Structure 1
């Protein structure tokens, strides 16, 4: 199944980058796109996919603009691919997932395919990162505790793993042994995510997990609700113990990080760690070029010309507006509105609001530098149905 292969690559992308297993930096997105295109070739797409074809078309004009506006010494191909591989991955995966019927068993298998490589990354970080107490001296994002890789991306992947572990705990409650194993994984991934000192992935995981439990709780029987209440209480206890452990191992610095304080305990003026300035510069670029935008990959050059700052905002929404202009607005409207309209007629997907929220929250703190936001977004378009029961075959008895 194309989704299983693409899901595995999505879950393992950051791990592959971290260990040097990728043949290219964007290999994760290329892999997802390859398997999804293969799936589209073999099974096609739904008649309801029109808005996502339109979404992909809205991404094209800015490519033409960037061919004119990018600096002469900028690699045009790399600039375009780096900035559009994420949105393109989302569009292609959405074409495959829209109104595609899968059973709850297949959805569980998909969750496992995403989770397993993230668990492998958590185990890798446990064995191959230095002692937390030796490498943490401040409240900034920490590369050493993130396996030497980008803390934001590692935190995002681990946060996604936390969510899918909770999905397994809540939906697969029959085996005590499996539940204990899952609770252990929850603590492992939670600790590794917290000590990256990157807050985005952890906060996103908490929000989408709470949303999932609330939605799932509303749709089950009274007996299951009682059991789910106990499970939720246990999850809170495990999370609390993990936080206390993290606080102890970091000498209380993690508490200051989430309280928006520096190592000396002074409150930082900007909770966004400077990103608000970058986002404002992108919005100003949009106001200056509202029709066509500044072009794909141009916003960093534009910002440096205007403000002298050469940094990325990691906010996909403001980047789409600044680089694509009015086409970016239409693209965002499709991504925001169409899934909600689809939800009115297809209410079987209990992951809908969580995966939709994961996409929205992640693109606002980590952009689409990895495949996860685009791929996970597409999961909210799946049409999850009950598995068909096989009708018994009745044969007439032959009397000899």
Structure 2
């Protein structure tokens, strides 16, 4: 079934289907629950395939974990676990590694190993297993995804199928919020996160989802790769993601989408004109200026709807600073993430070798006691000590190694932008969503572009699974 969903042959049908799925879930979460398990059950034959590697498992992974935030929005728990993407990522990557005899990406294995020591001690004496899963399974999955995807080779059609599979669930979430959002006149906007415009769920995670949607749709538009096959429909989706993302009043995800776009354009811009001509690369300025103008107009429209509060929100104002009770600072601008990070670093300085143990830092802070970590880097330092520093060094080595990767420049720009968004997301949402493990993992793949064939048109061909490169 997953190949049917990924196939360009039925593309318009699946776009409409996911729109209707989003609409149906406004009535009952069972629409999503039933669909989720239907896809998984009918894809079980892929997991029972005795071949050493079947790339369809990667399509299944990308598609199912992309429903993570949407399933939380429609309140599908416990039928779809709140942490389903973490469990599914762990299960499918582990399965793929066991059956794929992966000989590459061992940096990911090292990352997983570095996280294990902190699982066996707790300096706070208050940690429970659910919090360990919540905090540690994300970075474990990051290592597994780097290890799992490093050995995979996709045709251009398969590469574009992976991106589409990420977009489909975001479209469902978009139409869910379209319907769930009340009349703007009835919404009391303030300088905090807005749950009324995100279907009643956490605006930070919904913003991350829509920010990713902005970035992914921009990819299809700038390279003229086929999504719906219609420029105006694709543009509608992009504007819809931007509009609802801004209405969430959560800045991190929208900024993440902008970072993805700027990162992609940066990689394209830094290549010589000769390489650009050979790769049929569009002129960056031709797309950057209109993109900025469109996003600015969208921002102005949403700002007017909110009575000017959106501009104040993005400038770092809060209810406290506006009332004069607090001064605007880096801590208030980052919604107190900076303060949490500083306290994490203080905890690290007190326990620099081993750290304090997995998931324990929240109970050792004074000012932000009990608050879940929002910055993965500071959490790694506080809870894992020198092992956390080593983990970060490995991630940095893998990230900068991507700049030396040989690939079609279009593909390389997308893969590097994936990694940039993945890393950025850890600085405002830690690894509590699927975004970081999945995008960083996908940044490791190899896309084999046939000679004399344009990547922009290759999405019309069949999806092929390439053998593992030994």
Number of residues of Structure 1 aligned to a counterpart in Structure 2: 383
SS in 1 for 2:200: coil
Name the counterpart of 1:331.
Answer: 391
Q: Deviations over 1:44-95 (max 9, x none)?
A: 31x23222211111000000123xx3426x43x2122111111111111111
Q: Deviations over 1:226-274 (max 9, x none)?
A: 6664444443333222112211211111011112224659773331222
Name the counterpart of 1:361.
Answer: 424
Are 1:180 and 2:232 an aligned pair?
Answer: yes
Q: Deviations over 1:195-253 (max 9, x none)?
A: 11111111111121122133245453289556664444443333222112211211111
Q: 5+ unaligned residues in a row in structure 1: which ranges? A: 391-400
Give the conservation status (yes or no) of the 8 Å contact 1:119–1:185. Answer: yes
Are 1:294 and 2:376 an aligned pair?
Answer: no
CA distance in 1, matches of 2:282, 2:138: 41
Name the counterpart of 2:372.
Answer: 312
Are 1:321 and 2:384 an aligned pair?
Answer: no
Name the counterpart of 1:394.
Answer: none
CA distance in 1, matches of 2:282, 2:371: 50
CA distance in 2, matches of 1:178, 1:379: 26
Give the conservation status (yes or no) of the 8 Å contact 1:2–1:38. Answer: no
CA distance in 2, matches of 1:231, 1:308: 43
Give the conservation status (yes or no) of the 8 Å contact 1:136–1:142. Answer: no
SS in 1 for 2:209: helix
Name the counterpart of 2:315.
Answer: 259
Name the counterpart of 1:238.
Answer: 294
Which of 223, 243, 248 is 2:304 aligned to?
Answer: 248
Give the conservation status (yes or no) of the 8 Å contact 2:86–2:138. Answer: yes
Q: Compared with structure 1, are the counterparts of its residues 132 and 88 closer, same or farther at alpha carbon in structure 2 (3 Å cutoff)? A: farther
Alignment map for 1:180-259 (pairs within 5 Å)? 180-216=232-268, 218=271, 220-221=276-277, 224=280, 229-259=285-315
Are 1:135 and 2:192 an aligned pair?
Answer: no
Q: 5+ unaligned residues in a row in structure 2: which ranges? A: 1-55, 454-470
Are 1:163 and 2:215 an aligned pair?
Answer: yes
Offset, 1:21: 2.4
Which of 382, 394, 414 is 1:351 aligned to?
Answer: 414
CA distance in 1, matches of 2:238, 2:230: 12
SS in 1 for 2:356: coil
Name the counterpart of 1:4.
Answer: 59
Give the conservation status (yes or no) of the 8 Å contact 2:152–2:445. Answer: yes
Q: Compared with structure 1, are the counterparts of its residues 222 and 157 closer, same or farther at alpha carbon in structure 2 (3 Å cutoff)? A: same
Farther off after superposition, 217-226 or 323-332:
217-226
Which of 379, 385, 390 is 2:442 aligned to?
Answer: 379
Name the counterpart of 1:59.
Answer: 115
CA distance in 1, matches of 2:307, 2:404: 48
Are 1:85 and 2:137 an aligned pair?
Answer: yes
Q: Compared with structure 1, are the counterparts of its residues 383 and 151 closer, same or farther at alpha carbon in structure 2 (3 Å cutoff)? A: same
Which of 253, 272, 281 is 2:343 aligned to?
Answer: 281
Offset, 1:347: 3.5
Name the counterpart of 1:32.
Answer: 89
Q: Compared with structure 1, are the counterparts of its residues 81 and 220 closer, same or farther at alpha carbon in structure 2 (3 Å cutoff)? A: same
Give the conservation status (yes or no) of the 8 Å contact 1:314–1:364. Answer: yes
Give the conservation status (yes or no) of the 8 Å contact 2:222–2:282. Answer: no
Normalising by structure 1, what TM-score? Answer: 0.88
Query: Could you say what the CA RMSD is over the residues aligned between the two structures, in angstroms?
Result: 2.5
CA distance in 1, matches of 2:227, 2:375: 41
Q: Deviations over 1:110-133 (max 9, x none)?
A: 010001100110111001122234
Q: Runs in 1 of length 4+ with deviation above 4 angstroms? A: 173-177, 222-229, 263-267
Q: Compared with structure 1, are the counterparts of its residues 317 and 177 closer, same or farther at alpha carbon in structure 2 (3 Å cutoff)? A: same
SS in 1 for 2:447: strand
Offset, 1:106: 1.4
Give the conservation status (yes or no) of the 8 Å contact 2:265–2:413. Answer: no
Name the counterpart of 1:44.
Answer: 101
CA distance in 1, matches of 2:115, 2:281: 45
